[in-house]
């Protein structure tokens, strides 16, 4: 079964606020994690990734935090915009299974003006 | 670079028929993975091909099959369609090299299959 899960199925924020989307994983062998954004009618779009030898990685307006001790991953979006409204998935890859990602259920982020 | 392309974008079939979906990876990518996305089950891994060989397989029945060509393009086939096969089928490509620091998968727009 899937080893990656999400704490909250929906998240509503006001435009300009920061958003935090959480993800839990259970497989200690997971060594690579990716966040994807999926808009309605489209395929998942790569946002940011992180290797297990890192705790934090920053991109443009996004930061991913990895806590291996509690097997927790989070995506922080700064100054959330209406265009950020989408479903966000975390995915993990276990080094022994190249080409296979395990996905969480997804969090629906809605940004209100 | 062009992204991952999938054809057709939409398909309507009836139970018992078979269907073939196509995926063209990003230029230079040798790994193609297929996923099924449904509201109830989320994103589930079907299989992955690398250099024309199936390298990984998910827990789907044998009605689901695939192949990869020498140019890395991939097809998946579903035979004897069932109502439950209605889903968005996504393919993703990556470099797929063992030992790579990051093997990011990039997704196509998907093929929406409806089985009546």
Instruction: List chain B residues with CB under 8 Å of A104.
Output: 42
Q: How do residues B74-99 score in pLDDT, each as one tens digit?
A: 999 999 999 999 999 999 999 877 66
Inter-chain touch A42–B106, beta carbons under 8 Å: no
- Residue A7 in this model has a pLDDT that exceeds 80: no
pLDDT at A5 over 70: no
Provide the chain B residues 29-48 that lie in CB contact (below 8 A) with chain A.
Answer: 31, 33, 35, 42-45, 48
**DSSP characters over B2-23:** ---EEE-SEEEE-TT--EEEEE
Tell me: the pLDDT tens digits for A73-112?
Answer: 999 999 999 999 999 999 998 766 677 899 988 999 999 9
Q: How does the average pLDDT of chain A come out, rounded?
A: 89
**A56 in B contact zone (CB under 8 Å):** no
Please tell me the predicted confidence (pLDDT) of residue A96. Answer: 64
Which of B82 and A31 is assigned the larger pLDDT? B82
pLDDT value for B93 = 95
- Test A43 with B55 for CB contact under 8 angstroms: no
CA dist., res. B56 & res. A88, Å (int): 25
Please list, in sequence order, all residues whose beta carbon lies within 8 angstroms of the beta carbon of residue B73, skipping any fewer than 6 positions away: B22, B23, B24, B25, B32
* Three-state secondary structure call for residue B77: strand
Q: Please judge whether A98 and B102 are an interchain contact, meaning their C-beta atoms are less than 8 angstroms apart.
A: no
B42 contact residues in A (CB cutoff 8 A): 2, 103-106
Question: Across residues B11-36, what is the average pLDDT?
Answer: 96
Beta-strand runs (E) in B39-80: 42-50, 53-57, 64-68, 74-78
Indicate yes or no: CB of A98 within 8 angstroms of CB of B98: yes
- Residue A9: band (very low, low, confident or very high) from pLDDT cuts 50, 70, 90: confident
């Amino acid at each position: 079964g899937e080893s990656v899960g999400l704490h909250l199925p929906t998240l509503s924020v006001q435009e300009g606020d920061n958003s935090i989307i959480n993800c839990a994983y259970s497989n200690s062998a997971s060594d690579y994690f990716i966040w994807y954004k999926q808009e309605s009618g489209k395929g998942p779009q790569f946002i940011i990734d992180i290797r297990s030898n890192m705790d934090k990685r920053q991109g443009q307006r996004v930061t991913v935090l990895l806590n291996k001790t509690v097997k927790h991953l989070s995506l922080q979006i700064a100054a959330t915009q209406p265009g950020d409204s989408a479903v966000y998935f975390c995915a993990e890859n276990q080094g022994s299974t190249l080409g296979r990602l395990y996905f969480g259920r997804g969090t629906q982020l809605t940004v209100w003006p | 670079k062009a992204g991952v392309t999938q054809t057709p974008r939409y398909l309507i079939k009836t139970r018992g028929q078979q269907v073939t979906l196509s995926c063209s990876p990003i230029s230079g990518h040798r790994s193609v993975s297929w996923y099924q996305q449904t509201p109830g089950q989320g994103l589930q891994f079907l299989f992955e091909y690398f250099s024309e060989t199936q390298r990984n397989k998910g827990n789907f029945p044998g009605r689901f099959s695939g192949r990869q060509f020498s140019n890395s393009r991939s097809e998946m086939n579903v035979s004897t369609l069932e109502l439950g096969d209605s889903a968005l089928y996504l393919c993703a490509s990556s470099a797929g090299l063992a030992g790579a620091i990051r093997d990011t998968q990039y997704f196509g727009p998907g093929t929406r299959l409806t089985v009546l």
